[in-house]
Amino acid sequence: MNLLLLTKLNLKKSRPAGSSVVNSNKGERTYLIGGNWKCNGTLAENEALISTFNEAGPIPDNVEVAICCTYVHLPQLLATLREDIAVGAQDCAVYEKPGAYTGEVSAAQLKDLGCVWVIIGHSERREGFGMAGEPAELCAKKCKVAVDAGLKVMFAIGEKKEEREAGTTMAVCASQLEPLAKVLTAADWDNIAIAYEPVWAIGTGLTATPEMAQETHEAIRKWVADNVGADIAKKLRIQYGGSMKGANAQELLAQPDIDGGLIGGASLQADFFNVVNGVPK
């Protein structure tokens, strides 16, 4: 079975359909709940989690759900995860065309495989894992390449603890958004979600209060309105990331400018569906 999962050419045909349930609270933006599995999972562990998600019941019809996994596990999810959960990658190459880029995976290859989403600009990649991190300009260029290849992008931004304490949260976010605004067209923004992830809250158990998160989300939307366009800002989905889980999702998602979440640890558990079902009813 594992060999079949890894070699299957027509990946989508075996995926269970999933189902939706009507949610009367339909605002101007559909909620986006993304799971970031990071560098976790084996084929066996994923099989168990996928089974849990496939049996988790219907997804509210005002929610879009996606799981972003490692490159090596993309075929497994594309073959077996329910169809109403989109599959995405956690990064892509900055190069537009194939070539001599050992170890890289292009946006076009991800699209060809069947991916819908890709995460760009996560703080862990910006920081660099002990190597040179990815500067804002590189993240912006990757985003443009991904959109041009037909992918949707969850573009992550956020400040460190010392920057929050210094009162420069929005200045940091703006510095990460400015290169993006320079390379995207107005049409490109239809395929972008901004994932605000305060770095100090990622994987730490710390979470911005709903009021803190809303304040920053509102400021991000205002920045986009002022620097890109009011119509784009109104439609733009801004996710919150940073230890969101079932226990706090409902209060966070009730905020007017929080349009979903980019979920780390909780996306590796059944609790992920508590987040999905935490959208306002």
d(CA 20, CA 30): 14
d(CA 239, CA 178): 18
Residue of 122, 159, 163, 217 with catalytic role: 122
Residue 215 is among the residues annotated as catalytic for this protein: no
By CB atoms closer than 10 A (0-12, 13-18, 19+), residue 244 is buried
| CB 211, CB 254: distance < 8 Å | no
Residue 122 is among the residues annotated as catalytic for this protein: yes
What sign for the dihedral angle of Cα 62, 253, 140, 189? Answer: positive
What SS3 string covers 120-161? Answer: ECCHHHHHCCCCCCCCHHHHHHHHHHHHHCCCEEEEEECCCH
Residue of 124, 134, 163, 197 with catalytic role: 197
**In whole angstroms, what separates CA 63 from the centre of its chain?**
13
- Catalytic residues, by residue number, are 122, 197
